[in-house]
Structures are given as C-alpha cells and as structure tokens.
Structure 1
Amino acid sequence: MSRSKYWKVLLLVVFSAVFFVGCSSKESGGEKEENSKKVEQELVIAVNENFISMDPHNTGDTNSNSVQSAMLEGLLGSDEEGKIIKQLAEDYSISEDALVYTFKLRQGVKFHDGEEFNAENVKANFERIINDDSLRLNSRGFNLIKNIEILSDYEIKVTLKEPYAGMLTRFVSAKILSPKVLEGGSEEIGKKPVGTGPFKFVEWVQGDHLTVERFDEYWDKKDRVKKITYKPVPENGSRVAMLKTGEAHVIYPLPSQNIKELEGNKDVEVQKIPSTIARYVSINTMKEPYDDVRVRQALNYAVSKDAFISVVNAGFGLPLDSIIPSKTLHYEKQEVYEQDIEKAKKLLKEAGLEDGFKAEIWGNTNSDTMKGMQFIQQQLKEIGVDVEIKSMEEGTLSDEIYGAQTPEDTKLQMWYVSWSAFPSDPTNATKPLFYGGSFPPNGANTAYYKNDQVDKWIEEVNKTPDESKQTAIYSDIQSTIYNDAPWIFLGVDEILAGKRTNVEGVFISPTGGINVLDANLK
C-alpha cells in the first residue's frame, strides 16, 4: 500500500472512531438524562416501622394508615392542621339531636378497578364494619349505627342509636373500598386494597417496600408524581443516610440527634410540627403488682419527664401532663408526677415492695423505641425495679397484644408505645384507651384499666352535644385517670421529619400521618 493510501485509511478509521464515540456519548448522555427523568418520577418515603395491614377498617398503626390514605378516601378527610374536611362527600349535615348524619356524595368518582362510586358502595362498606365486630372501627362508633338509608344514588343518611361526639372522625377513618374488593374478604382487602384515592396499589413486598402509582382518572385533577414507594427502615442512621444521598425523598420520623447535620445540608429541609402524639408506657392494671395504684404511681414518680424529652427526644417535645395532649379539644393540665425517687420508694414500701421487683417492658424494634425502653429501664432501676426489655417486630408485637385473649391470659406487663388522635376528637383520645369495654382486641386499652365512674362519664360525654358540658365531663375524666396512673406518662412529640428540597405537596399531620394527596417532585 502506498504511503498516501495508508494515511487516508488511517484518517478514515480515526474519524469513524471519533464519530462513533461522539454518538455513543451523546446517546449515553441521553439515556442518563432519560433515566434521571424516570427516577424523578418516583418519590421514596422511608418510615421507621413495617406496615401491618392495608385494611382501613381494621388498622391500629399510623404507618399503615398513612399508606392507605394515598389509595383510599373516606366521606370526610383531614387537612394539614388535623381539621375535618369534605372528601368523597360534597356536603353533610347533622340533626339537632346529633343522631342523624346526611351526606351528599361527590358524583363522577371512579374506583381504581373502574367501578363507579355511589351511595350503595358507602352502605356496603359501613355494613361490613357494623356486621363484623372483629374490625377495630366496629367498636369505635360504628357499633352505634342503627340504620343506613340510601336517599338517592348520591345521598345517604346514617342514623345512630345514641349521640356520639366523635362520629365525624369515624367517617374520616372509614375509607371506602371498591365493591369488588369487598367480595374478596378481609384477607384480600388487607393485602390489595382498591379505593378512589389519587394513587393506586401496585405491590407490597413484606418488610421491604410498598409501592403505589398515580391514578390518572382521579376526580381531583392535579399534577402529581407518577409513583410512590414506601420503605420501612427501622434503623435511624440508615433513614438519615438515605435522605442525604437522595435515595429517600422523605423520612419520618427524623432522629432528633441528626438535626444539626441536616440543617446545614442545602438539599434537605427539616420540618418541625406540633403534634397530638402522646408517648407513654401502658401498665397492665390487672396483673400483680401493677394492680396496686401505689405501684403505678411509684413508677411515675421514678421517671423524669424532662430527662425523657432531653435524652430520648433530644429536647423536642413537652411533658405529658394529662391523659391527652394539649393540642386536643377539652384538654386540661394536671398536677404532673415530678420525679421524686424518695416518694417512689416510699410508695413501693407501702405496697410491700421495699426491695423492688422484676418487670418486663415490650416495644417494637425501631431505634427510637429501643432508646425509650432503655431510658425507662435506667430510671426504674433507681427504685429497685429490674426491667427486662423485650423488643419484637411490629406485626408480631401487634399479634401478641391484640390477638384474641382475655386480660387474665395476656403476658403483657408494660408496653412502650404512642397514641395520636385528631385534635378535634377527644373521644378517640379517651374511649379506645381507658374505657372498660375497650380491652384488646376490641380497643387499645392495653392498661386493662377499669373504673366504673370513668366508664359512665365516657358514655355520658359521647351522648352530650353541649360542648360546655363536654368540657366539664372531660375535666373529671382527665383528673381521675391521671391520678389512677394506668400509664407512665412521658411526653408529647414535636414531630420531626426530613425531606429533599425538590419535594412538594407532602406534609405530616399533627397525628403523625404522612399526607401525599398532592405529592410531586420539582
């Protein structure tokens, strides 16, 4: 080959190589750009515990309820402040005697499976709750429903046997399921719910993730993210790391000890929200030695609420100075159990337990719970109470506590836990927790607390439409129960959450629920 031909061939090879690389780089960059867009269509939310069930009529944990609210709607909903708003109901009215609730329903709404929403669907959902006393909503107001009457395709009337002050919030909790999924029974509902919400169910891999995707036929047309993946991440450090790298867009709760490092991150926003979340240790009042009020009061005097807030919550929160948080309607501050070790020891001596005793505390496996239980263990050690910590995965713990069993059969002694209710609903902050008819599995009275006078007051206040009379009754309820000490009263959370700055339309409610109704990525 001549030298001139050789150089021509070489130049052609080089030019082809450069052209190929250039095109490849361009295509590769395009792919990266396209992949980036795809990634930004998925919002990832990391929470601290596993989800238990997707059955909205039988849910007891906030995380499960948060996911459900992305897919399912009630006749009523709640806003960012926890106030009741209209959702599947366009309007509603309550009779003067507080017995009849009439709802005008939204028209043109479809379920994710194509079924049309109407009054018949609402009736079928409510009847499911009424007819199955194993469902948690049954004992939370729906067992008081006397009659459901369909007035038209889009109007329904619900009549109660007796007035119930918290009934509106029950209509918030009772999310409406598709008639087809109702036919599948409780097991199918708990795994694959079908509702009318802005997002529809995709898959649930237990312990790893639950994914929903945008429902493009949703009645309230807005620009929303295409997909949301919820990931249970019990370990605090792992959740924070996911937020920092962008692997998660929202984390809840945000560990308080990580606030300073995140506040200096320009890609992250730290949110602080006043809450109605009460932190406490329920004490089994039917099991020795906890059946002695002096023992329960001694446990309260042994624990410093200020230290709890400082050590466990890194200073974020307030002492729990009543049986309900201060943001709750009809709240009344009580005389706090200030830490007094000598008084606690004196009470134990009076109860015949001068040398203390062995105890067991249960809780889930997330980092904050473990820290809280360790704090209780250390505090009670000062008065000779030797506490053994027993941590369980959330589902197992729920089965142990809410499985069908009598108060005599349960092994539960103490449970480190929290409870939240709508700010406007003191009923749900009292009746499920302290009423004698709310022992598990019918309610969340895991202290097995039974006071006949308190029961009468709770029954009376739920039948009283007069708000001033309600205030007086709730005053008596709070002072009596606080003195009876069925809990170790700890603190009220200031909710801490973290989100990436490109997230919009996601907020945490005062009850700790994650609302993604208008979720999007900028």
Structure 2
Amino acid sequence: MKRRDFLKSTAAVIGGAGFLGTLHPATLTAQDAPKRGGTLIWGHSETTQNLDIHQTGTASTLRVLQNVHAPIVTVDQNLKVIPNLAEKYEQSDDGLTYTFRLRPGVKFHNGKTMTSADVKYSFERCKNPATGAVNFEVFNNVAAIETPDDLTVVVKMSKVNAPFLSRLAENGAGAIMPEGSGEAQANTPIGAGPFKFVRREFGHEVELQRFDDYWDGPAYLERVIAREVTEPTVRLTGLRTGELHMINDIPADRIEEIKSNSKLQVRTWFPLNWDFVNFNHEFEPFKDKRVRLAFDLLIDKEQLLQGALWGQGKLTATPSYPTSTSRNAALSNRPQDIQKAKALLAEAGYGPGKLKVVFKTTTNYPYHIEAAQIMVEWFREAGVQMTIEQLTWSDWLSQVWTNKDFQVSMMNFFTLWEPDFLYYSEWHSTGAFNYRKIKDPVLDELLEKARVTTDPAARDDIYKQVQQRIFDEVHDVILWFRNGSIGAQPSVGGIDTIVHPNGSNLNFHKVWLRA
C-alpha cells in the first residue's frame, strides 16, 4: 500500500478513536477457561534501565516493575483511587491526616510478611533526598509517619497536599518494599506484586517468575520474559514468526495490515503517550521567548504527525488527558508560519545562518528520528542550521535527562494522567522531570497553590491556567497524543486485561497461554 493511500485509509479511524480503544480478535474465544503454566515471551519495545522503582523515571522500566511491585492504593478503570495493599483508608476532614489499614498476610517475594514498618520505610525512603527518588515531592508536606500497630499507618501532613492519594496510586510513589531492601532494589527488585524478579541481561531481556503467595491470587503464567526489541520491524517479524507471543508498539505503518491478519490479535487504545519538542532554557537563544515561539511556528504539526507517526495519533496543544476535567480545551496547536518565524528570529538577533543548534534524539523512539529529519527542512527554510545527533536510550538518559547537556530534543511521556504528577514534575522549577531547566515563578506559584486547593473545580481552574502559561511562554512545543497498540498470538488469553487504566503500564496477572 502506498503511504498516501495508507494515510487516507486510517484518517477516519484515528478521528474516532476512544480512550479505551478496541480489541481486534483473530481467533479469540472469550469462553476459554484460563490455563495455568507456560512462559510468555513479550517483545518489549524499549530497554529497561535502573530497576529501583523509586529512582527510575522511564515508562519502559515501569512496565516491568509494575508486575514486581504493588502499591498501597491504585486506580480503577475510571482513574478513581481505590485500595490495594491497604484494604481501606481514611482522610481527615481537615486534609492533614491519612490513615491506612493494611491487608493482613501480604507476602513479599523474600518471604517476609508486610507490616506497617515496611510502609513507613518505603515512604521515608522515597521522601529522603539521598534516595534520588523521582517522586520525592509527593512527600514534601509529610510531617510524620506513625505505626500504632502492625497493620495501621498514619501519615500526618504539615499542610494540605490535595493530590496525595492519587500520587500514591501512580508510578512508584506508593510502591511498598521490604524494610531495609533499598540497596538491592536497583539490581534485584523485591516487591509484593504478582511476579518476582529472576534476572536481567541488560539491553536484552528481563525474566519474571510467578509469585504463588501474591495476595490477590497467583498469576496463570509461570514466567514472563520481557525481550527488549527496540527495532519495530524486528519486533513485528518476531510476532509473525511465533518467536514472540506478544509485542507492544506495533509499527505505525503496519497497524492496519496486522488488524486484518486473522492469525493475530490486536489491542489498540488512545492515548498511549504524548510527545513534545524540548528547549534547554539555559542555552542562550532559548532564554528568549521569541526564539522559542519561532521554533514552534516552524513546525507543521499535522504534516509531522502524518509523516513521522503515520497518523497514529491526534494533535494536542496540552498534555492533559483528553478526559481530564482539568484539561484546557481552549488551546490549539499554532499553525506553521515560516515568514513570521523568520521575522521573530531576526528581531531576536538571529538572521539567516546566525543560529546553529544540535537536535539530540534517541533511537529508542524511531519515529522521533523521523520527526527530527522532517523538521530539519523547515528550520533550514528559516535560516536555522540544525544537525541531528542520534543517541542510544542510555546515552539520551545520561546526556539529556541527567546531565541536561542538550540544546533541542524530543521526548514522550506516559501515564501522567494525574495533573499534579504531570505539571509539578515537568514544569515546576524543582520538578523531578524538569530536565529543560525551566524556571518560571508564575508556574511555581500556580502549581504550589494547586496542591493546597481542595475544591476540585477550583483546582481544575488552576491547572487550566498552568496549561495556558506553558503555551503562552512556549516553554515546550506540545505536539500530539500517540495511539497505543499490542499484537499477540492467538494462544495468548486475557489480552484485554493487560493495559493499565493509565494507558501505559502493562500487567500480566490475568494473562494465560492456551497452549
């Protein structure tokens, strides 16, 4: 199929995409009784990094660790906070005290029974700056953690932190690990989840084994092997030949083809993640808002979506979840205007040939490479000399994320449905994910105000102001939401249970193999 014909054929599908997406069965028989045993080989689209769930900031690693750890609270399909390792919880009327009643008899993978001491240890470890936890700010307002008995934890706040419970439900802050196990977590994670860690061959695969003492009942699968296959075509070939039972991230240009294949299952949903172009705010040209705005105006977002992502997504000017009540729906992407961009660059002192930038992107996301290659031509039209530096995932994390050594980059974020997690982590001057060195006192004030605002409608309004500020100041260029996809062999049962409500994490607790 020619590319232009493919794009025409998929346009209607993308336009009508829903949050939960659809399951396209090949030989599914919903009446099949789950079977116990077997090893599922998962073609993981990304490489895992640090295995310490407190320290890791990559969705690729969290997809594995969500099967190893269990949080104190979680969310249902509507992203409402519900009990998990805590069988119930209460919040005081003044919002300053949280009491968790733990499930009795919960076992860790090392055989230890979970108590309130483990919860206190986990929370205090995440709060401790020496840990380097990405979710440290969740516990900023925690004044004391009390353990009146083995099954009761009382968290006392110095001031209100409205999103505290929802932050515990998402990506590691609420994960409970055995007391004293912190030093081992980076290489040998120990949790209370449905699978226990066996081994990791860095850059190749991770092996998990069923934990028979899991509090919510043992998994069906005996083992899961996450085989890291970052090259999309190789990943798809592995699925089609039967080498892999399942893959995530079906190549965007092959999704319609795979959907029509009666020998495979396909699960699609919207959205998986959102993508944006990043500026290093301490790189001299990008200290000037006019330059950032010019770069925004140089990008034809729709053409970029079609060219790099084959239309498998939808444009957005804000990263807030499509269904979020805090989403600023009034924002829309700026249209391309190369002449206006050239004028702004000239006004800022960067006439034709005066501005040279390096665009660092990672081979972990091949479509980012394609997007950068498309953008080079537009920037050239405006007299900007841009070169592309392709980095491995590890090198991108080291150079861009950790050392903040870059000028322009592109990244995507997953699972940030909770607005405090999304905006405080990304855009607050002290946020754990603020690798762009953004320092905006107006944003800081708004984000801190949101944390102590308990009225949901008022809090939503603050986040809408935050989105407007990010857009007006062009702190980053938000591009699109990307669709999610899973392909699987007919032998894989329970495929519709894999995707977490946040759209990113994958859980294999209820998955089985028919043969």
Contact kept in structure 2, 1:422 and 1:511, CA below 8 Å: no
Identify the residue that residue 354 of structure 1 maps to in structure 2: 351
- Is 1:342 equivalent to 2:332 in the alignment? no
Following superposition of structure 1 onto structure 2, how do residues 46-125 of structure 1 map, counting pairs within 5 Å? 46-80=43-77, 82-125=79-122
In structure 1, how many angstroms separate the alpha carbons of the residues matched to 2:443 and 2:219?
A: 49
CA contact (8 A) 1:278 1:324 kept: no
Q: Counterpart of 1:432?
A: 425
Counterparts of 1:216 and 1:222, CA distance in 2:
5
1:394-418 alpha-carbon deviations (Å, 9 max, x no partner): 2222122343x5xxxx431112101
The aligned amino acid for 1:289 is P
Alignment CA distance shift 1:338-1:381 (3 Å): same
Structure 1 residue matching 2:54: 3-state secondary structure:
helix
Q: Map of 1:266-305 to 2, 5 A cutoff?
A: 266-275=262-271, 277-305=273-301
Q: Describe how 1:456-495 pairs up with structure 2 within 5 A.
A: 456-495=445-484
Structure 1 residues 438-467: Cα deviation after superposition (integer angstroms, max 9, x where no partner): 2xxxx1112221111111111001110011
Q: Are residue 159 (structure 1) and residue 156 (structure 2) matched?
A: yes
Indicate the SS of the match to 2:111. coil
Unaligned runs of 5+ in 1: 1-37
> Paired residue for 1:394?
393
Compared CA separation, residues 43 and 78, structure 1 to 2 (3 A)? farther
Change (3 A) 1:451 1:180: closer
> Would you say the 8 A contact 2:41–2:244 is kept in 1?
yes
CA RMSD of aligned residues (A): 2.0
Aligned partner of 2:513 in structure 1 is 521
Amino acid of the structure 1 residue aligned with 2:371 = G
Give the match for residue 248 of structure 1. Answer: 244
Distance in 2 of aligned mates of 1:395 and 1:278: 21
- Code of the aligned partner of 2:510: D
2:414 equivalent in structure 1: 420
Partner Cα separation in structure 2 for residue 169 and residue 395 of structure 1: 30
Shift of 1:138: 4.9
Note if contact 2:188-2:197 (Cα within 8 Å) is conserved in structure 1.
yes
Alpha-carbon deviation of 1:107? 0.9
Aligned counterparts, 1:11-410, within 5 A:
41-80=38-77, 82-172=79-169, 173-174=172-173, 175-179=175-179, 181-182=181-182, 185=183, 188-222=184-218, 224-275=220-271, 277-333=273-329, 334-356=331-353, 357-366=355-364, 367-403=366-402, 410=404
Write the letter of the residue equivalent to 2:499: I
- Residues 328 and 232 (structure 1), Cα distance of their counterparts in 2 relative to 1, 3 Å cut: farther
Counting matched residue pairs gives 471
State the secondary structure of the residue aligned to 1:387.
strand
Partner residue of 2:433? 444
Distance 1:197 1:369, change over 3 A: same
Determine if contact 1:271/1:496 at 8 Å carries over to the other structure: yes
Report what 1:22 is aligned to. Answer: none
In 1, distance between residues paired with 2:308 and 2:492?
Answer: 28
Contact 2:106 2:114 (8 Å CA) reproduced: yes
CA contact (8 A) 1:276 1:326 kept: no
1:496 corresponds to 2:485 = yes
Q: Find the aligned partners of 1:71 and 1:223 in 2 and give their Cα distance.
A: 12
| Secondary structure of the corresponding residue to residue 433 of structure 2 | coil
Contact 1:145 1:159 in 2 (8 A): yes
Native 8 Å contact 2:126 2:135 kept in 1? yes
Tell me the amino acid that sits aligned with residue 358 of structure 2.
E
Q: Secondary structure at the match of 1:141?
A: helix
The TM-score, its normalising length taken from structure 1, stands at: 0.86
Deviating more after overlay: 197-206 vs 221-230: 221-230
The residue identity in structure 2 corresponding to 1:260 is: E
> Structure 2 vs 1, CA of residues 384 and 85 (structure 1 numbering), >3 Å: closer, same or farther?
farther
**Residue 135 of structure 1, CA deviation:** 2.0
Q: Could you give the per-residue CA deviations for residues 148-207 of structure 1, whole angstroms, max 9, x where no partner exists? A: 01132111111122222321233222311123523xx1xx21110111111111110111
Distance 1:445 1:280 in 2: 13
- The structural deviation recorded for 1:222 is 4.8
CA distance in 2, matches of 1:325, 1:361: 27
**Offset of 1:323 from its aligned partner?**
4.5
- Output the CA distance in 2 between the equivalents of 1:375 and 1:101: 50
The answer on whether the counterparts of 1:361 and 1:390 sit within 8 Å (CA) in structure 2 is: yes
1:488, 1:376 → 2: CA distance? Answer: 13
Distance, in Å, in 1 between the alignment partners of 2:74 and 2:231 is 31
How far apart, in 1, do the equivalents of 2:488 and 2:482 lie? Answer: 19
Amino acid at match of 2:351: E
1:278–1:492 contact (8 Å) kept in structure 2: yes
Per the alignment, do residues 128 and 368 of structure 1 end up closer, same or farther by CA in structure 2, a change over 3 Å counting? same
Identity percentage over the alignment? 27
Give the Å deviation of 1:219. 1.6
Q: One-letter code of the match for 2:204?
A: D
**Does the Cα contact within 8 Å between 1:329 and 1:426 map onto a contact in 2?**
no
- After TM superposition, give the deviation of residue 39 of structure 1 in Å: 13
| More off after superposition, 425-434 vs 512-521 | 512-521
Aligned to 2:471, the other structure's residue is in SS state: helix
Displacement, 1:369? 2.7
SS in structure 2 of the partner of residue 349 of structure 1: helix
Partner SS for 2:66: helix
Match of 1:508 among 496, 499, 507: 499
Aligned residues of 1:276 and 1:511 also touching (Cα < 8 A): yes
Instruction: Rate the CA distance shift 1:399–1:132 in 2: closer, same or farther, 3 A.
Output: same
Distance, in Å, in 1 between the alignment partners of 2:281 and 2:219 is 51
Aligned partners of 2:282 and 2:43: how far apart in 1? 38
Distance 1:276 1:114 in 2: 35
Range with greater deviation from structure 2 (348-357 or 212-221) = 348-357
Counterpart amino acid of residue 147 in structure 1: A
Which letter maps to 2:71?
A: G
